[in-house]
Amino acid sequence: MAQLTESVANLIDQLARLPGIGRKSAERLAYHILRVHPSEALELADAIRRVRENVRYCGVCFNLAETDRCIICQDPKRDQSLLCVVEQPRDLMSLEASGTFRGLYHVLLGRIAPLDGMGPDQLTLDALVDRVRTGEFKEIIMATNPTVEGDGTALHISNLLADFPLEITRLARGITTGSILEFTNKEILADALSGRQKF
């Protein structure tokens, strides 16, 4: 690769760091970017810059937002008595796509995973407990992934919330154990939500 200019080599290196992109794909993408109209290539660069400059976590639920509150927290029509707890913003997107949930969310920004060095302190649990304390929730739905770590995280949270007068449920096990919410199709997610069980 001695013939690559420094900036082409750098672009390939950057692309190859993306998940699921190997060296060959990175090269293909780099040559594609060199071939398209400069304005098209710069739109991509701009989109990356804009998303990093403008997108932050919602100050209430930790969903992705472009202002202090995400669009779900800003929506007065959402059911204020239902709170669905998920690991990541992309899990929230999957549940939203199922179109059946009208309550609010709380995004943990991770799960308890001791082997990866993720403890409860790194999740948004203090904010969750504060919301439950000051909110009007009647039901908390655990929608962590049905994995050992997701289940452990849900158990930890149900213990944290045990003294509050509310019902704690979890998604029905229509989702195969070990499967990941973001890859589960929306019909199955809708079933899992409507068939949720007492934790």
CA angle at 162 for the pair 175 and 154, rounded to the nearest 5°: 25
* Contact positions with Zn ion (CB under 5 A) in 126-185: none
Report the residue from 11, 29, 58, 181 that binds Zn ion according to the rule CB under 5 A.
58
What distance in Å separates the CA atoms of residue 135 and residue 83, rounded to the nearest whole number? 10
Task: Give me the residue label for tokens 């690769």.
Answer: 1
Instruction: Give φ, ψ of 4 to 5 degrees.
Output: -70, 140
Nearest distance from C-beta of residue 105 to Zn ion, angstroms: 7
Tokens of 18: 């993306």
- Quick check: 109 and 88 in contact, CB under 8 A? yes
Does 88 bind Zn ion (CB under 5 A)? Our answer is no
* Contact positions with Zn ion (CB under 5 A) in 18-47: none
Does 94 bind Zn ion (CB under 5 A)? Our answer is no
Q: Residue 176 gets which letter from DSSP?
A: P
Nearest distance from C-beta of residue 54 to Zn ion, angstroms: 16
Residue placing its CB nearer to Zn ion in the complex, 29 or 70: 70
Does 61 bind Zn ion (CB under 5 A)? Our answer is yes
For Zn ion, how many residues bind (rule: CB under 5 A)? Answer: 6
Residue placing its CB nearer to Zn ion in the complex, 40 or 126: 126
Does 84 bind Zn ion (CB under 5 A)? Our answer is no
Report the residue from 11, 29, 70, 92 that binds Zn ion according to the rule CB under 5 A.
70
Task: Give me the residue label for tokens 């943990």.
Answer: 108
- Quick check: 23 and 17 in contact, CB under 8 A? no
Does 83 bind Zn ion (CB under 5 A)? Our answer is no
Radius of gyration of the chain (CA): 20
Residue placing its CB nearer to Zn ion in the complex, 127 or 160: 127
Task: Give me the residue label for tokens 């809708």.
Answer: 190
Does 73 bind Zn ion (CB under 5 A)? Our answer is yes
The site for Zn ion (CB under 5 A) is made up of 58, 60-61, 63, 70, 73
